[in-house]
Amino acid sequence: MNSSQLQGRHPELPLTLGLHTGDELVVQQWLRVLPGQRYVGRALWRGRSVLAKLFVGGKAQRHFQRELNGVQLLLQQGLTTPELLASDYDAAFGGWVLFEYLDGAQSLEQQWQQVAGQPVWTPAQQQVLEQALACIAQMHRKGLWQGDIHLDNFMLHNGQLYIIDGGGIASETPGQPLTTETALKNLAVFFAQLSPELDDWLEPLLKIYIEQGGQQNIQLASLRDAIAKIRRWRIRDYLKKTARDCSLFSVNKSVSGVTAMQRGRMDEVAELVAAPDRFIDSGHIYKTGGAATVARVEHKGQSWIIKRYNIKDFLHWLKRCWRPSRAWHSWQAGFLLELEGIAVVQNVAVRERRLFGLRRQAWLISEYAGEQDLIDRFAPYIDSGEVPEQDLLSLQQLLAGMIRAKISHGDLKGHNILWHNDRCLLIDLDAVRQHKSHGSFVRAFKRDRARLLRNWPQESRLYRLLNEKLPQID
């Protein structure tokens, strides 16, 4: 078999490929797959481990050349990138590029995930971002930039930071600093992919970039505007992906229904999606009857939450059948909140049952995040008002994030905020809305805030503390 015959998302492993040079490449693990275009994996070649990038399909030559050109630009400018071992292109075989395999390497994204749950702007978080910004500044100083720049494109191996993904490398005049406009746009792309919670620390982050040799003339206000524009586009694009089959999501549509799953979690939840009611019937029921049934279920050694959106009667069905289900709304709302830097319980799958295209029942499958909600968490402090600083900070950050993104919850009672892994998580996203009008948002947020405070007696010290400390808007 040769690389041009690769197809599908999961070619069987181990896979021996014949290269037109006469060498054999034994692929042992797929790391990234774009079906019919690009296959990236760990492989054996001439007795050593390599990272193999295989380009197939109608755009193979273009993608191969782009990868090779990008790597050569990095090498010519003295930037650290994995060693290029071999490369070639043949119309019958496709293109292939082999790099040294950085065994045990960790991306900055992996490092970031280890500290992302900490309060914003801890020394550990600063260290990760400083490494990335130093590398970005170095590229910009050499006249290069990476189109889709993010933390996964930087690999730390034995104390050395490597730039990967040569296919995204572009240049103005190699060896000469980027123009202000190009550097600003590229820096905005990087920051737009970080949590909006970090926007309050954009000034010191820009200072780090400039001190590391980046473009000196970037203005903070211009950078903020560029980040906001890119972030709006990214959110729209990502939400579209939640509704179509792609590398991130597995989506199947037919006249009888729609299912969507996070592609990386399919093995965990496929059986839950196929028969949600069977698992609900054997699970722990939190809520039943009426508009929704909620249950905790066990599957493959993990706990999950399944929420079934019921159809109460014919009139209820008639009202709901024409529009997206509440399950689908909650599915997309969860990802919207995540992208806006607001902590939520993660949605993993959704299913809508349809009859000739008209919607019927629907199910939403989410991660299980424990039993403790904000009512339970704050119960010991009703009389004293002595809420732990971390607890109060997390709730403040949750509401501040809603204000920043102009998002209202619609039913912000204490039972809809869980306390898990030392932070507040939103659940029950059926009525979540992102407002275009400032006035509309202000009214909705005030209702949310008032609903939250009604969980505690108005004369209690806890109520007075929260009313004083929680963010407000006029």
How far CA 333 is from CA of 11, 312, 345, 426, in Å, comes to 33, 24, 11, 11
Between CA 375 and CA 472 the distance in angstroms is: 21
Single out the residue of 417, 414, 415, 408 nearest to residue 445, CA to CA: 408
pLDDT at 358 over 70: no
User: Which helix (DSSP H) or strand (DSSP E) does residue 424 occupy?
Assistant: strand 423-426
Q: Specify the domain boundaries for CATH 3.30.200.20 within the chain.
A: 3-100
pLDDT at 321 over 60: no
* Mean pLDDT for the stretch of residues 340-356: 90
Span 103-150, pLDDT tens digits:
999 999 999 999 987 888 899 999 999 999 999 999 999 999 999 999
What is the band of 250 on the pLDDT scale with cuts at 50, 70, 90? Answer: very high
Coil, strand or helix at 2:
coil
pLDDT at 433 over 90: yes
Between CA 139 and CA 274 the distance in angstroms is: 48
* Mean pLDDT for the stretch of residues 324-336: 93
pLDDT of residue 290: 77
Between CA 310 and CA 49 the distance in angstroms is: 53
- Return the CATH class of domain 3-100: alpha beta
| Cα pseudo-dihedral 36, 40, 43, 48, rounded to 10 | 140
**Domain topology for 106-241:** Transferase(Phosphotransferase); domain 1 (1.10.510)
Between CA 168 and CA 165 the distance in angstroms is: 6
Map 43-111 to HEC letters.
Answer: EEECCEEEEEEEECCCCHHHHHHHHHHHHHHHHHCCCCCCCEEEEEEECCCEEEEEEECCCCCEEHHHH
Q: Exposed, middle or buried, 239 (CB in 10 Å: 0-12/13-18/19+)?
A: middle
What is the band of 353 on the pLDDT scale with cuts at 50, 70, 90? Answer: confident
Between CA 372 and CA 298 the distance in angstroms is: 18
pLDDT of residue 4: 60
Single out the residue of 322, 331, 292, 325 nearest to residue 309, CA to CA: 292
* Mean pLDDT for the stretch of residues 218-247: 96
pLDDT of residue 317: 44
Q: Specify the domain boundaries for CATH 1.10.510.10 within the chain.
A: 374-469
**Tokens at residue 132, please?**
């990335």
**Tokens at residue 462, please?**
């806890």
Task: Write b or e for each residue in 47-56: b if 16 or more Cβ atoms lie within 10 A of its Cβ, otherwise e.
Answer: eeebbbbbbb
CATH superfamily of 374-469: Transferase(Phosphotransferase) domain 1 (1.10.510.10)
pLDDT at 320 over 70: no
pTM: 0.88
* Mean pLDDT for the stretch of residues 412-422: 96
CATH number of 249-367: 3.30.200
* Mean pLDDT for the stretch of residues 338-361: 86
Asked if 218 and 180 count as a contact pair (C-beta separation under 8 A), the reply is: yes
The sign of the CA dihedral 440, 442, 444, 445 is positive
Of the candidate ranges 13-27, 266-280, 366-380, the one whose mean pLDDT is the lowest: 13-27
Q: Which position has the higher pLDDT, 359 or 27?
A: 27
pLDDT at 312 over 90: no
How far CA 291 is from CA of 79, 191, 280, in Å, comes to 58, 41, 15
Between CA 322 and CA 194 the distance in angstroms is: 36
